[in-house]
Chain A
Amino acid sequence: QKEVEQDPGPLSVPEGAIVSLNCTYSNSAFQYFMWYRQYSRKGPELLMYTYSSGNKEDGRFTAQVDKSSKYISLFIRDSQPSDSATYLCAMSGTGNQFYFGTGTSLTVIP
């Protein structure tokens, strides 16, 4: 079983839609959770990070962690064509090794 599972998509939504991206994990020791955005032919860039359970909001983006279900989500409100990218979740227990999801490809159609 993989440490982190992420639906690869692809996901295609109209501009303005609410997007929900999700990852599940198996290791209950994970406590640091990150979302990266990766544009084509570019390296991943950090979008958000959270520690332990709860919600974190940054503009149109909300990260949610449910440790009891071992499930994390990233919500994008009022999605824009510029949000079209691959989104990677990543997580860590102690901070010295990170486990990445395989990424979900998102296309926002104008």
Chain B
Amino acid sequence: EAQVTQNPRYLITVTGKKLTVTCSQNMNHEYMSWYRQDPGLGLRQIYYSMNVEVTDKGDVPEGYKVSRKEKRNFPLILESPSPNQTSLYFCASSLSIMSSIYGYTFGSGTRLTVV
């Protein structure tokens, strides 16, 4: 089944403890992106990657890191999480950056709580 898989689905952590949210897609997509979804603010892009070893900042990159060493994986790293990073996170992919206009495939989300 074609899908974007995120892990974990739920995570509670403490301030300052480094964490990684994994994202993997099995569709050979070039373009991958991370979003956070907050009430009243909608989906906001954190980082995106147009291909292996090519990443760029979205609208809200502060406090996050990403890497794209392989085409299928695009992990989101929080080096020192803070409570304002408590959110619902989505990984998304599309065949290419231009085909994103025909829609992303989203993962099921990771609900992160930082206490």
Give the B-binding residues of A (Cβ under 8 A). 4, 6, 8, 32, 34, 36, 41-46, 49, 51, 88, 90, 92, 95-98, 100-103
A98-B45, A100-B42, A100-B43 known; A41 vs B109 contact (CB < 8 Å):
yes
Q: Are A49 and B102 in contact (CB under 8 A)?
A: yes
Query: B40, B43, B101, B104: which has the most chain A beta carbons within 10 Å?
Result: B101
Q: Are B100 and A95 in contact (CB under 8 A)?
A: yes
Q: Per-residue 0/1 for B3-42: is the Cβ within 8 Å of any A Cβ (1 yes, 0 no)?
A: 0100000000000000000000000000000010001111
Q: Are A96 and B103 in contact (CB under 8 A)?
A: no
Q: Are B101 and A49 in contact (CB under 8 A)?
A: yes
Q: Which of B37-89 contact A (CB under 8 A)?
A: 39-45, 58
**How far is B42's CA from A6's CA once the two chains are assembled, in angstroms?**
10
Q: Which of A42, A46, A97, A102 contacts B104 (CB 8 A)?
A: A46
B94 to chain A, nearest CB (A): 10
- A103 — which chain B residues lie within 8 A by C-beta? 42
Given contacts A97-B58, A100-B42, A102-B40, 5 further A-B contacts (CB under 8 A): A43-B92, A46-B102, A96-B100, A100-B43, A100-B44
A88-B43, A102-B40, A103-B42 known; A43 vs B108 contact (CB < 8 Å):
yes
Give the total of B residues in contact with A, Cβ under 8 Å.
Answer: 23
Q: Are A49 and B42 in contact (CB under 8 A)?
A: no
B5 to chain A, nearest CB (A): 11
Give the A-binding residues of B (Cβ under 8 A). 4, 35, 39-45, 58, 90, 92, 97-98, 100-104, 106-109
- Between A and B, 6 residue pairs with Cβ closer than 8 Å are A34-B103, A42-B108, A45-B106, A96-B100, A97-B45, A102-B42
Q: Which of A4, A41, A51, A100 contacts B108 (CB 8 A)?
A: A41
B49 to chain A, nearest CB (A): 12
- Would you list the 7 A-B pairs with minimal beta carbon distance, nearest first? A46-B103, A43-B106, A102-B42, A100-B43, A32-B101, A100-B42, A95-B101
